[in-house]
Structure 1
Amino acid sequence: MLDMFLDLVAIVVDLRDSSPRKRRRDLRKADAAGRPLVFDGAVRGETDYCHDGSGVLEVAGRELVWRDEVGDEESFSVPVERLMAREVTTKRRRAHVTCTDGGQTVTLICPQYAVGYLARVVPGLAAVLGASQADAGRV
């Protein structure tokens, strides 16, 4: 009986550790400490740095990196200096940031609560977010 109770406690703790509230809090703490910000995300499109699968995005200073998973040694740098944000849409609490890189379309996907961190490194995203908030206020 005690084993079943301990298993249940472990499951509840795991669920709480993966809650969006905890992930937001962890990002704020990492940001305040000056550590790289890591959150789940994807880089989709036809360019050489885009990937079909999901993974994690890491914002460190002015750089954006995509990895298969947290702690993965292999990383792929996203050339943010070539990007220009055009639009942000939200689907199921996920932000889809549509950017252009030359003539190519690139979509950065991240949790909605993390899009502000992307705005620090993706050119034009802060303006797009400001415009969308202003439009929402006019409705």
Structure 2
Amino acid sequence: MGYTEEVRREGGVIYRIANEEHGEAVTRLLSASFLHEPMGRALGATVEDWARFVSYFNHECMTNGLSVIAVPEQEPGSLAGALISRDFKKPFPPGFPDELPRFAPSIDALVSLDSQYEALRPGLNVDFAPTKPLRGVRKLAA
């Protein structure tokens, strides 16, 4: 795991700003995590489906300085968790969500929530909108 800016150290875990080098590991971790969340189970999505979903946002989230990885101090080459964020006012990446029909109900719900939020906060623009984080963790051995 490459070294990037450390933002916090607590409880045997180092939190660092994510970069492109972390992209594949973050995709694997998030895909496996989403598979077990209630919405992931309800969608019936596979780990491959989730990997494809995450891959649409990976480059942006690994280069925008808003995403964070958690690395165990005792296993600096592994990933304990990740939180990827993007400006929700930015347009979706090409092909998203059309190429992921399984996710349409969830995406439609999130777009609806975004619209309701924007109605309460007029004037939100790209680079000034709150980020929408996606996070995943793995259990560390005690």
Q: What TM-score do you get using the length of structure 1 for normalisation?
A: 0.27
Ranked by relative contact order (alpha carbons within 8 Å, sequence separation 6 or more), the top structure is: 2
Q: Which has the larger radius of gyration?
A: 1
- Flag the structure with higher strand content: 1
Q: What TM-score do you get using the length of structure 2 for normalisation?
A: 0.26
